[in-house]
Amino acid sequence: MQPEDIVRSGPNQYVCREGIVKELPSFANAFERPVIISGVKSFKAFTRYTTPPADWKVVQHTGCSSLNKIKKAAEEAESADVIIGIGGGTVLDTAKAAADLLNIEVMTIPTIPGTCAASTPLSVIYDDEGNFSGVQYQKRSSYLTLVDPLLLLSSPVAYVKSGIGDTLAKWYEAEAIIRNTADSLSIMVQTGLRQSVYIRDILLTESLKAIESLEKGESSPAFTNVLEAVIALAGTVGGYAGRYGRMAGAHAIHNGLTFIPETHRVLHGQKVAYGILVQLALEGRTDEIAELIPFYEGLGFPRRLSDLGILENIEAAKRIIAAHAARPDESLCLMGSFHEADVIAAIESLE
């Protein structure tokens, strides 16, 4: 049985509450040798908010969640009986994969609501240059995930917007996969699809209010709802729906974009948001594109290649993106049969 055929609903323990991260030491009492894996900026944000015990080792992660970086982090944390990942998606994916290598538990504390990495038992793997490589599934879900809205108020606005873009794709990708399958759907698959609708509605109605709260540095119900949709609910789509709630067209376009050096500065969710538009264009769903444009304008999401920093060698860039997205082992194939020329035509229609 493949990992995507197994229902994995989320973390073993999950708490979202203001101030909860300050109680981390009490949650770690069951372990003797916690080791923190964190990024430079994320650890600064964490220690400005609270102070971890002085005897906890801290492993600083930089760069991508590549196999080499994961192995290095695991080697530095080899004395641990639990790893505590503190940071954004790349850091948390590295922490989860390192814990898997060491066959120990992992706790996750997101410092930005940029992805659902804190609540999913998988890691997105890149090569050392930042190009997408694949997805690695872990044996364990997180032992504990703590989401603290007050800590997350220190998140850069760009990363929060990126999280919204990445999470918005959950509905469009799951719906496309399910619509294009003749399989009889289990109640768990239907649950995952319904979660994706709920997530979409939260994001479309509350994202602008959440960004306003963030810019003011004030917590609000909208901010908490959006960050929980991004961090926790998003993971339940694939967790319940399995292969039917996986990445599809939007992420295939994202993955193709990672092979364009100019886009390496563009955040993951921004590229996925662009991928949603390409996916809709591929299916001829122009009315839905039109409906999304005001939302994209409000959040500054990319709608053209130039918005992604692709200003030169545009024809070559289209071919690179399309060639990768249309590969038979890429997620675009989960929603139908599309060729390189189809993807290029979809990109050109958006231009």
Residues placed in the known binding site for glycerol: 166, 251, 268
Among the residues of the chain, which ranges form H helices?
A: 24-27, 40-49, 67-76, 89-102, 149-152, 157-179, 187-216, 221-228, 234-241, 249-257, 268-282, 286-299, 314-325, 340-350
Feature table: binding site for NAD(+): 89-93, 120, 122, 126
Q: What's the token pair of residue 329? A: 């082992």
The enclosing H or E element of 17 equals none
Tracing tokens 């794709």 back to the chain, one arrives at: 169
The DSSP secondary-structure symbol of 47 reads H
Neighbours of 50 (CB within 10 A): 14
* Rounded Cα–Cα distance for residues 197 and 204 (Å): 11
Which residues are 146's β-sheet partners? 15
Q: Supply the angle between the helices 314-325 and 249-257 in degrees, to the nearest 10.
A: 130
Feature table: binding site: 89-93, 120, 122, 126, 166, 251, 268
Burial class, 217, CB count within 10 angstroms (exposed 0-12 / middle 13-18 / buried 19+) = exposed
* Rounded Cα–Cα distance for residues 61 and 247 (Å): 26
The enclosing H or E element of 10 equals none
CB 175 within 8 A of CB 263: no
SS3 97: helix
Please spell the DSSP secondary structure of 13-78, one letter per residue.
SEEE-TTGGGGHHHHTTT-S-EEEEE-HHHHHHHHHH----TTSEEEE--S--BHHHHHHHHHHTT
